[in-house]
Amino acid sequence: MYIVKINGSATPNPGMRTIEIIVSEKNNIIDEISKDMGSGTCHEAEYLALIEGLKLAIACELTDSDIVFQSDNQLVVFQVNGMYQVSKDTLKPLNTEARELLSNFQSARVEWVPKKRIFKATVIKDLEYMEPPASCA
């Protein structure tokens, strides 16, 4: 199973958005991305991280694989899974894009995980990261 850990933040909120994505399989990091995404809110940043993670998984040809996208942002996870309505106009197009990208996968889900499980240092420690990632893009 592939795991895509995503994280988006805005400092302050709203402020400069930053995203981080780590794709792993069987305790091996396959690819990772960290970049600035301009100004906006933390929820927008989390959606952008999910969208970039979905695009990365598609580029890595993982659409036929069992894959889980993990986020610590309950609002985004629950909206993408249809459990919450999307009321903010700025989030509606991001939600639509994320759901459209998800439809490309045979077996994918988006799940909430506690914040401590998302941070890069924790992920790398948990995976006992030993080798540099091999980019698939």
Q: Which two tokens stand for residue 29?
A: 């990091």
- The confidence score (pLDDT) of residue 135 equals 53
- Report the DSSP beta bridge partners of residue 24: 3, 29
Query: Do residues 23 and 60 touch, judged by C-beta distance below 8 A?
Result: yes
Rounded distance, CA 88 to CA 125, Å?
Answer: 36
Model confidence over 34-55: pLDDT tens digits? 999 999 999 999 999 999 999 9
Q: Residues 13-24: what's their mean pLDDT? A: 94
pLDDT of 120 higher than 80: no
Model confidence over 64-112: pLDDT tens digits? 999 999 999 999 999 999 999 999 999 999 999 999 999 999 999 999 9
Query: Do residues 81 and 129 touch, judged by C-beta distance below 8 A?
Result: no
- Report the DSSP beta bridge partners of residue 36: 18
Instruction: Indicate the Cα dihedral angle 92, 58, 26, 71, nearest 10°.
Output: -10
pLDDT of 129 higher than 80: no
Contacts of 128-132 with CB under 8 Å at 24 or more apart are 128/27, 129/29, 131/28
Which of 20-24, 87-91, 110-114, 119-123 comes out lowest in average pLDDT? 119-123
- The confidence score (pLDDT) of residue 64 equals 97
Rounded distance, CA 125 to CA 130, Å?
Answer: 10
Domain boundaries, the chain: 2-124
CATH 3.30.420.10 fits 2-124, yes or no: yes
Taken in order 115, 116, 117, 122, the sign of the CA dihedral is positive
Instruction: Report helix, strand or coil for 8.
Output: strand
